[in-house]
Amino acid sequence: MKLITPALQTYPWGSKTMLAQLRGEPAPTAQPEAELWFGAHRTAPSLVDGTGLDSLISTDPTSALGAAVESRFGAQLPFLLKILAAEAPLSVQAHPDSAQAQAGFDAENAAGIPLSSAKRNYKDPNHKPELLVALTPFRALAGLRPVADTLALIEHLDCAPLNRYAPFLHSDNEEEGLRALFTTWISLPRAKRLELIDAIYASAQSPSPEAEAWMVEAMACFIELNDRYPGDVGVLASLLLNYIELAPGEALFLGAGRLHAYISGMAVEIMASSDNVLRGGLTSKHVDVPELVRICDFTTQADPRIATTTSTAPYGEATEYPVPIEDFVLTRHRLYPSAGALQVGDGGAGSDAGAGPGAGSGAGPGILLCTKGAVTCGSGEAIDLKAGSAAWIPADDGPFSVRAAGHEVAEVFYARVAL
């Protein structure tokens, strides 16, 4: 186990305060800090003792990953762990599945598009399912709303230019109807798009008294996005997506092709080790509408939040976030001062009362990330972690324990591969 230095990403939508304050550093910062990457993606690998984690893994993948993970995923860490801090909305986007990513990566390589090009869609051949767990109240647009609800929203808006598009959603095939409507909206000539958005904007200012709470939230979100990105095609897309507010500890999962746009807040995010993004608006970055439509999953979701399981343990409590993929597993652990230790790497049955659900099995690599308070961990020489810092755990490490340090409740996230 060794300390890991994350790669800091400074995107325009980031925050000048959230990540700095989490890490106990001066704020505001000179530029927006958007993400801390804890992983081995070649775009921005973390450092261990000054060496890129990707290089450490490639030098001895069996020791770093374990035979089972190396056999399944090759000589690469299959997940990327992040802390994300959004002060402004991210782009409306979706991510490819494995086949789409491989085909897109190969096609762009064949076309001679450099990996560093701003017009590159596929920076690697990997899929990118992702799990997000809120650290603060977190707002997002995620997943296409059920068609019946969107039709109800259009009815309550009572906007004549918008009503003309309702017939798309009366299709016998909901998925094809949504695809046709989304494609039509993002293909509108600019003048017509602005006219439509302006009309909806005016209607959204005065919700009907009969409008349900979620409708009022959706209208307010539409107004907020248009105020920041006037006339952007992503503003229209927001009308089709679920508006969600997560409390700290709540989570959502987005599989391949699911449209989403994070709006504000700080969260832990874990995904397959990929940086493939197809954007459709709310951004100054490269937008590729035809490719986004091609990879999108137009089935609807009533709610992309996932059910969690929290159990008590002598050290505090453990929360599981079940996801339907093998690339990663993430658990959240709250550790109480002067309590027992979280035992990791012994199957969850340590002598100090065990780790709780999902914490055991040292057969693969892991990353332990502290997000609150401070902890002391290790099996030999102790390593101290404070909020915003993490430790790399290669597969050949033995079991270790984690205890709260100090007098406040500590919180850690343990990321590893599903084995």
DSSP designation for 167: G
Average pLDDT for 348-360: 36
* Cis peptide leading into residue 28 (ω within 30°): yes
The 10s digit of each residue's pLDDT in 382-414 is 899 999 999 999 998 878 899 999 899 999 999
Burial of 144 (0-12, 13-18, 19+ CB in 10 A): buried
Q: How confident is the model at residue 253 (pLDDT cuts 50, 70, 90)?
A: very high
Which alpha helices (DSSP H) does 335-412 contain, by range?
A: none
Of 284, 295, 282, 302, the closest CA to residue 241 belongs to: 302
Q: How confident is the model at residue 219 (pLDDT cuts 50, 70, 90)?
A: very high
Report angle CA 294, 183, 109 to the nearest 5 degrees: 30
Tokens 């402004």 sit on residue? 88
Domains (range + CATH), the chain: 7-141+245-293 (2.60.120.10), 147-240 (1.10.441), 309-416 (2.60.120.10)
CA-based end-to-end distance of the chain: 20
Parallel/antiparallel/unpaired status of strands 35-38 and 410-416? unpaired
Distances, alpha carbon 73 to alpha carbons 66, 76, 79, 363, 364, in Å: 11, 7, 10, 14, 12
Over 90: is that where the pLDDT of 301 sits?
A: yes
> Which has more confidence, 145 or 282?
145
The 10s digit of each residue's pLDDT in 371-390 is 999 999 976 678 999 999 99
Is residue 279 annotated as part of the catalytic site, yes or no?
yes
Average pLDDT for 286-313: 92
Which one of 197-201, 291-295, 377-381 scores highest in mean pLDDT?
Answer: 197-201
> Which has more confidence, 240 or 274?
240
Average pLDDT for 249-277: 95
Of these residues, 279, 332, 334, 403, which one is catalytic? 279
Residue 400 to residue 379: CA distance in whole angstroms: 4
Distances, alpha carbon 26 to alpha carbons 21, 86, 291, 386, in Å: 7, 18, 41, 16
The 10s digit of each residue's pLDDT in 101-143 is 999 999 999 999 998 898 899 999 999 999 999 999 999 999 9
Q: What is the pTM of this model?
A: 0.92
The 10s digit of each residue's pLDDT in 19-77 is 999 999 999 999 999 999 999 998 899 999 999 999 999 999 999 999 999 999 999 99
Distances, alpha carbon 364 to alpha carbons 37, 41, 74, 397, in Å: 20, 18, 13, 9
Output phi, psi for 311, to 5 deg.
Answer: -130, 155
The residues, any chain, with a CB within 8 Å of residue 287's CB and separated by 6 or more, are: 91, 279, 280, 281
8 A C-beta contact, residue 84 and residue 35 = yes
Half-sphere exposure at residue 216, Cβ-oriented, CA atoms within 13 angstroms: 8
Over 80: is that where the pLDDT of 349 sits?
A: no
Output phi, psi for 196, to 5 deg.
Answer: -65, -45
Over 60: is that where the pLDDT of 359 sits?
A: no
Q: How many CB atoms lie within 10 A of CB 338?
A: 7
Q: How confident is the model at residue 346 (pLDDT cuts 50, 70, 90)?
A: low
Amino acid identity for residue 1 in this structure: M
What are the structure tokens assigned to 75, written together? 């000589």
Q: What is the pLDDT of residue 288?
A: 87
The residues, any chain, with a CB within 8 Å of residue 172's CB and separated by 6 or more, are: none
Of 124, 69, 128, 119, the closest CA to residue 94 belongs to: 128
Output phi, psi for 138, to 5 deg.
Answer: -130, 130
The alpha carbon dihedral of 187, 192, 198, 204 has a sign of negative
- If you average pLDDT over every residue of the chain, what do you get? 92
Annotated binding site for Zn(2+): 93, 95, 130, 260
Q: CA torsion, points 108, 113, 116, 117, in degrees to nearest 10? A: -110
User: What 3-state DSSP class applies to 194?
Assistant: helix
